[in-house]
C-alpha cells in the first residue's frame, strides 16, 4: 500500500518539476505573474515557474509582419478608393505588451486600419498616388506614438495598393493624355518663338548687307533648280533690284 502511495507521490513530484521547467528561445521572453501580480520578465534559456503560485505568458520579440485588410477610403476630393497596407512592428517591452493591452496583435491591427483611413482621408487622390513615402511616414509616426504605451515599436508602414474603379481609371488616363498634349503644345510654341527670334536676327543682318541678300537669293534659286520639273519665273521688279545691288 505504501509503495503505491510513494510511487504516486513520486510521479506527482516529477510531474510538478517537469511542468515547472520552461525553456525560452532567444527571441522569447516570459512575463511571470506571482499570485496574480507581475513579478518579473525572464528568459531566454531555462527558467523555473512554480506551479499554482506562478504563471507565465510567452512574448515573441521578433518583428511581426501584419497585413492591414483592404479599407474603403474617401479622399479629400471625394474619390472612393480601396487601399491596403502592411505594418512592421515588434514588442520592445514584454511587460507592457501583456499588462497594458489585451491581445496586442489584434489591437495593433485595429489601430492600423482606423489610422490608415483617417490619414488617407485627409489627402487628395493625387497625393495617394504620388506621395506614398510621405503618407507611409505619417501613418508610421501616428501608430508608433499610440502603441508606445503598449511596449510596441512600429518600425515601418507600407501602402501596397491603391485600387480605383474603372471610371476613375479612364478619367485619370484622359487627364494624363490632356497633360501630354499641353506639354507638346508648349514645346512647339517655344520652338516657334525661338525660330521667329532667329529669323528676326537674320533679317536684320541681311538688311545691312545687300550682297548677302543676293547670295541668299542665288542659293534659293539653286535649291529650286534642283527640281528639273520646276519652272522659275523672275518678276521684273526683282530683276531690277538685283541689277542695282550687283557691282
Name which CATH class applies to 64-168: alpha beta
Cα separation, 208 vs 219, in Å, equals 18
pLDDT at 231 over 80: no
Across residues 15-20, what is the average pLDDT?
78
DSSP string, 204-215: HHHHT-HHHHHH
Closest CA to 62 of 22, 105, 31, 21: 105
SS3 at position 35: coil
Instruction: Enter the pTM of the model.
Output: 0.67
178-211: b (≥16 Cβ within 10 Å) or e: eeeeeeeeeeeeeeeeeeeeeeeeeeeeeeeeee
pLDDT at 169 over 70: no
Q: What pLDDT, on a 0 to 100 scale, did the predictor assign at position 161?
A: 87
pLDDT at 187 over 80: yes
Label residue 80 by pLDDT band (50, 70, 90): confident
What integer best gives the mean pLDDT of the chain?
81
Label residue 134 by pLDDT band (50, 70, 90): very high
Across residues 224-231, what is the average pLDDT?
60
pLDDT at 234 over 60: no
Label residue 100 by pLDDT band (50, 70, 90): very high
Label residue 139 by pLDDT band (50, 70, 90): very high
Q: Which DSSP symbol is given to 63? A: P
Q: Where do the structural domains in the chain lie, given as residue ranges?
A: 2-59, 64-168, 179-208, 210-247
Q: What pLDDT, on a 0 to 100 scale, did the predictor assign at position 238?
A: 53
Across residues 98-111, what is the average pLDDT?
94
Contacts of 123 (CB under 8 A, 6+ apart): 75, 76, 131, 135
More confident residue, 203 or 187: 187
Across residues 108-126, what is the average pLDDT?
92
Q: What pLDDT, on a 0 to 100 scale, did the predictor assign at position 66?
A: 95
Cα separation, 219 vs 225, in Å, equals 10
Q: What pLDDT, on a 0 to 100 scale, did the predictor assign at position 143?
A: 95
pLDDT at 4 over 70: no
Q: What is the dihedral of CA 92, 93, 99, 102, to 10 degrees?
A: 0
Label residue 233 by pLDDT band (50, 70, 90): low
Q: What pLDDT, on a 0 to 100 scale, did the predictor assign at position 164?
A: 79
Q: What pLDDT, on a 0 to 100 scale, did the predictor assign at position 114?
A: 94
Q: What pLDDT, on a 0 to 100 scale, did the predictor assign at position 89?
A: 97
Amino acid at each position: 500500500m505504501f509503495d503505491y502511495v510513494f510511487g504516486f507521490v513520486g510521479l506527482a513530484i516529477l510531474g510538478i518539476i517537469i511542468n515547472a521547467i520552461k525553456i525560452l528561445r532567444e527571441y522569447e521572453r516570459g512575463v511571470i505573474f506571482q499570485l496574480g501580480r507581475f513579478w518579473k520578465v525572464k528568459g531566454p534559456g531555462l527558467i523555473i515557474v512554480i506551479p499554482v503560485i506562478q504563471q507565465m505568458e510567452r512574448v515573441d520579440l521578433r518583428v511581426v509582419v501584419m497585413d492591414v485588410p483592404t479599407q474603403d477610403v474617401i479622399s479629400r476630393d471625394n474619390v472612393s478608393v480601396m487601399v491596403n497596407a502592411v505594418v512592421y512592428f515588434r514588442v520592445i517591452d514584454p511587460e507592457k505588451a501583456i499588462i497594458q493591452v489585451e491581445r496586442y496583435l489584434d489591437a495593433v491591427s485595429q489601430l492600423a486600419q482606423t489610422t490608415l483611413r483617417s490619414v488617407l482621408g485627409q489627402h487628395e487622390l493625387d497625393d495617394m498616388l504620388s506621395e506614398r513615402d510621405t503618407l507611409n511616414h505619417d501613418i508610421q509616426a501616428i501608430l508608433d506614438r499610440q502603441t508606445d504605451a503598449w511596449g510596441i515599436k512600429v518600425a515601418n508602414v507600407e501602402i501596397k495598393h491603391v485600387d480605383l474603379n474603372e471610371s476613375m481609371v479612364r478619367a485619370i488616363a484622359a487627364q494624363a493624355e490632356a497633360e501630354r498634349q499641353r506639354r507638346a503644345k508648349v514645346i512647339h510654341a517655344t520652338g516657334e518663338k525661338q525660330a521667329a527670334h532667329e529669323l528676326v536676327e537674320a533679317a536684320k543682318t541681311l538688311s545691312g548687307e545687300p550682297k548677302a541678300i543676293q547670295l541668299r537669293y542665288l542659293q534659293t534659286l539653286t535649291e529650286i533648280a534642283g527640281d528639273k520639273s520646276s519652272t522659275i519665273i523672275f518678276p521684273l521688279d526683282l530683276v531690277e533690284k538685283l541689277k542695282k545691288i550687283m557691282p
